Structure 1
Amino acid sequence: MAEALDPYPFPSSLYVSSSVTLKLNDSNYLLWKTQFESLLRSQKLLGFVTGQIGPPEATVTVTVNGAVVTTPNPDFEAWTCTDQLIKSWIFGTLTEEVLGYVHGLATSQEVWLSLADNFNQSFIAREFDLRRRLQLLTNRGKDFLVYCQKFRAICDQLSSIGKPVEESMKIFTFLNGLGREYDPITHVGSTVLTTAACSIPLCDIQAFSSSTQDCSASSLAIR
């Protein structure tokens, strides 16, 4: 006969940091959440934080020597142990500042939902700030490589909070931030610039910059 599955597993020897490599801070919530959900799902524990695996009754009634008595429910104790284990996992992946928001909460679900509420509210302001920085970014006074790095970093940060920049807007914004010396390249076509700005390795961008500047110089000479 197959052994029944434990409804409340207790993998206390699990090395959490090998699965959740990030310490949750103000800028990486979605990445942290993705890692943590994968860990919980792999252990069949995700329902504890979503509410699908709720607590059983704390007590049960049993008959002892013909008398009905109330006794602690062993399933409730098992559920509580697993729930507190998950909560300790979460606490272990928080920065000290973030831990201060949730350290007094009782269950893993309360902690999980509180973190979601706090960070989802902050995402609105963060998205506004990042999009504003992207619109104002220019390569004036910057090396072309530095401009590309800053542009890509802001786009990556927007993606990390679930607000990726659409490709068409990415192209427009990147071109808009270039100085007049790059006009010949902006007229070549947006496809080349999209590849240069967002896809090629950083080690190749400097070469692109040099070729761009050579093209600009040639164009100015012709004029």
Structure 2
Amino acid sequence: MANLHPAVIVTNIKNFIPITLEMENALYTSWFELFKIHCIAFQVLNHILPPPPPVAPSAADGEVPPAPPPADPIWAKLDAIVLQWIYGTISTDLLHTILKPKATAAQAWEALESIFLDNKSSRALYLQSRFSNLTLQSFPTASAYCQELKVLVDQLANVDAPVSASQLVLQLINGLTGTKLDAVGMMLQQAKPLPDFYEARSRLILEETRQSQQPPTDSALHVTAAPTTPKRYYMSHNTLPGTVNPSLSCPLWSWNTSLVLQEL
């Protein structure tokens, strides 16, 4: 156990790299950094970023060049482990795209790099257009809006079109125009000095949380009164004592009655 290489003890690469690289999810920058950090921690960085080969001394005329060194079985085993890490953290579509017999981890790494970083000029124009037109209205929360801005900035850096820290904050503020957080954007814009991205993000999320917990100000109290039922009355002829019963056939003038309003 004392001579066991650290990379051998990794049983589940997803515990260290929790994202899956796909063609459309634009997470190459995050995946690249997480994978590189993991390889540094487990002492296998040279398997994805090998050092340049040493320059072989030129053989004199008539001399046979030296044979290449024999393959190191331990190195081959470690390279296969790193290759498994790569295959285990990418989508099925990407796996079928880069999978080749007898490929090394470095070859798979370079294949992914060429897929995501080719045509830098075209990608830079596309990413810059998306970055400049991004607004909060396209996202359900301020956190999602800020995350997309950060992803685009990382992608632009990968295609040699970096965005400065102040440009990032100014674009974040510009995307708040006409939204419920427009007032916060005005305060951020007027702040001296301009806050950094993470401070601006924190203020947006705090204000969004405050607004979500605040009761609506334009709601009125609706007092519902119990409906009143109109009272109905009927008239009855109450015969006074000593008078003729109205049921008898008597002239109307001979009745001694009183009209009484009785409530139903």
TM-score by length of 2: 0.54
- Tell me the residue number matched to 2:95: 99
**Structure of higher CA gyration radius:** 2
Kept in 1, the 8 Å contact 2:188–2:200? The answer is: no
- Tell me the residue number matched to 1:60: none
In structure 2, relative to structure 1, the CA distance for the partners of 1:204 and 1:41 (3 Å cut) is same
Cα deviation digits, residues 162-186 of structure 1 (max 9, x gap): 5364343345434544149999877
CA distance in 1, matches of 2:42, 2:180: 56
What are the within-5 Å matches in structure 2 for residues 125-144 of structure 1?
125-138=122-135, 142=137
CA distance in 2, matches of 1:19, 1:183: 39
Cα deviation digits, residues 46-95 of structure 1 (max 9, x gap): 112212398xxxxxxxxxxxxxxxxx94x522222221121112111111
In structure 2, relative to structure 1, the CA distance for the partners of 1:109 and 1:138 (3 Å cut) is closer
Kept in 1, the 8 Å contact 2:17–2:31? The answer is: yes
In structure 2, relative to structure 1, the CA distance for the partners of 1:184 and 1:111 (3 Å cut) is closer
1:159 aligns with 2:153: yes
In structure 2, relative to structure 1, the CA distance for the partners of 1:128 and 1:153 (3 Å cut) is farther
CA distance in 2, matches of 1:134, 1:120: 18
1:24 aligns with 2:21: yes
What are the within-5 Å matches in structure 2 for residues 65-214 of structure 1?
73=70, 76-104=72-100, 106-121=103-118, 125-138=122-135, 142=137, 146=140, 148=142, 151-161=145-155, 163=157, 165-177=163-175, 178-179=177-178, 190-192=189-191, 198-200=201-203, 202-205=205-208, 207=210
Overall identity of the aligned pairs, in %? 19
Give the number of the structure with larger relative contact order, counting CA–CA contacts within 8 Å between residues 6 or more apart. Answer: 1
In structure 2, relative to structure 1, the CA distance for the partners of 1:99 and 1:120 (3 Å cut) is same
CA distance in 1, matches of 2:87, 2:184: 51
TM-score by length of 1: 0.62
- Tell me the residue number matched to 1:44: 43
Q: Which stretches of structure 1, 4 residues or more, deviate above 6 A after TM superposition?
A: 180-187
SS state at 2:8 partner: coil
In structure 2, relative to structure 1, the CA distance for the partners of 1:132 and 1:79 (3 Å cut) is same
SS state at 1:129 partner: helix
Measured after TM superposition, the shift of residue 38 of structure 1 is: 1.6
1:12 aligns with 2:11: no
Q: CA RMSD in A?
A: 4.2
Measured after TM superposition, the shift of residue 206 of structure 1 is: 5.7
Cα deviation digits, residues 132-185 of structure 1 (max 9, x gap): 23323456xx49x85845642331221342536434334543454414999987
CA distance in 1, matches of 2:206, 2:77: 51
SS state at 2:79 partner: helix
